[in-house]
Amino acid sequence: SGKVDLQEQNIVDIEELVKLCTRMEEACAGFTRFDFCQILDATENFSEKMIIGWGGFGRVYKGQLPHGLVVGIKRFDHRAMLSDFSNELQLARLRHTNVIRLLGWCIHGEERILVYKFMHNGALDHHIFDRIKGPLLDWSKRLKIIKGLVEGLVYLHKHPMLSIVHRDLKPNNIILECDMTLNISDFGSAKTLSPDVTEEHTCRVVGTSGYIAPEYAPRGVYSLKTDVFSFGILVLETISGRKNTILDNRGDTVGDLVRDAWRMWKDRRLHELVDGSLGHGYDIAEVAMYAQVALLCAQEDPVDRPAMTDVAAMLSSESMSLPTEPKEPSALSEGGAGEDTYINRSSRTIDITITSSATVLTRVRLIIDQEV
């Protein structure tokens, strides 16, 4: 009793969405409805100076409630589908240190708003890719972030009711508290899998270039291994302070960071992978273990990727040697005549274009939203 199963929800209008939110409020302790006037006061009428983040579904504002509680307020824009909002409602029934806490909701006319616990240190990308904040993120803090990400994903993938696939893991969606405790956020793209289902298909592929699993982008196939791939990329980026770039015009499926890291791992040059701002303040044996696990997670074939429970076991082992070696990424092509790359920054909807000038269809390109 009290369980609300979102897997088969077919939300077609605002009225149904209000009813769903009301049922979630009744079923989930600590999840409450906010008055729209409260939201306006907290955000100073959605002032631009209160914006702390944005994405494909809307903007996030910092707000302070009358009793002093600071919160994050997500205002969904007109491009967001009702299902994007209802997907996030899954968070109301989740309780984990490393998953963002959803506190409440507000629907007023066309306004769709969710209220979250506020995380004072912002998103991970503001730290690992920043010249000022990067050096402050020492090796122990980076390990804490990786371990928190592992624990959060194990919780989502092994949830007792339904396994949750995030589908859009990236540094922007990993937010940090003052003590660098990590929270996984932005579940607008999340999907649930029944215990007896290993993978599903979708015609609406969402995500960000550099983090999307090779089987997901072209075929719309997603599974728990989709998140495992993104996790591997996040670990390599956290170690190196580098972004993973997909070389679309050369048939790349995993990214330049994965290729470089694999070569460094093979040649035992992993000290070259480590963010230079760390100096010598790291344990090379730990770097080798975490990098190898990351490369195993970033394998092109999902069958070759470990489950997150296996990742947790490998990283908690006292042994620094791992039983499996990552396979070398596929070789890049030399590119083709008439190929071009276009990234649509205004929409998460996937378009398909033919990018070869040959008379025979040789390649299909997915155009994927990439945030600035």
What CATH number is given to the structural domain containing 18?
Answer: 3.30.200.20
Q: How many helices (H) and strands (E) does the chain have?
A: 10, 14
Strands 364-367 and 351-354: antiparallel
Q: Does residue 65 sit in the same domain as residue 49?
A: yes
Q: The domain containing residue 101 runs over which residues?
A: 14-117
Query: What gap in Å lies between CA 16 and CA 5, rounded to an integer?
Result: 15
Asked which of 274, 297, 316 is the last residue of a domain, the reply is 316
- Catalytic hit among 168, 248, 252, 369: 168
Q: What's the pTM?
A: 0.85
Residue 349 lies in a domain: no
Q: Is 260 a catalytic residue?
A: no
Q: Does residue 22 sit in the same domain as residue 141?
A: no
Residue 201 lies in a domain: yes
CATH number of the domain bearing residue 299:
1.10.510.10
Q: Is residue 58 within a helix (H) or strand (E), and if so which, with residue range? A: strand 58-64
Q: Does residue 229 sit in the same domain as residue 258?
A: yes
Q: For every one of its 372 residues, what pLDDT tens digit does the chain have, with 9 covering 90 and above?
A: 334 444 434 455 888 899 999 999 999 999 999 999 999 999 999 999 999 988 668 899 999 998 889 999 999 998 788 888 988 998 999 999 999 999 999 999 989 999 999 999 999 999 999 989 999 999 999 999 999 999 999 999 998 777 999 999 999 999 999 999 999 999 988 998 887 778 888 888 888 899 999 999 888 899 999 999 999 999 999 999 999 999 887 889 999 999 999 999 999 999 999 999 999 999 999 999 999 999 999 999 999 999 999 999 999 987 667 778 999 999 888 754 433 333 333 334 343 333 333 333 334 444 444 443
Q: Tell me the β-bridge partners of 364.
A: 354
Instruction: For the chain, report the end-to-end CA distance as a whole number of angstroms.
Output: 44
Beta-sheet strands, E only, within 25-79: 32-33, 51-54, 58-64, 70-76
Q: Tell me the β-bridge partners of 111.
A: 108
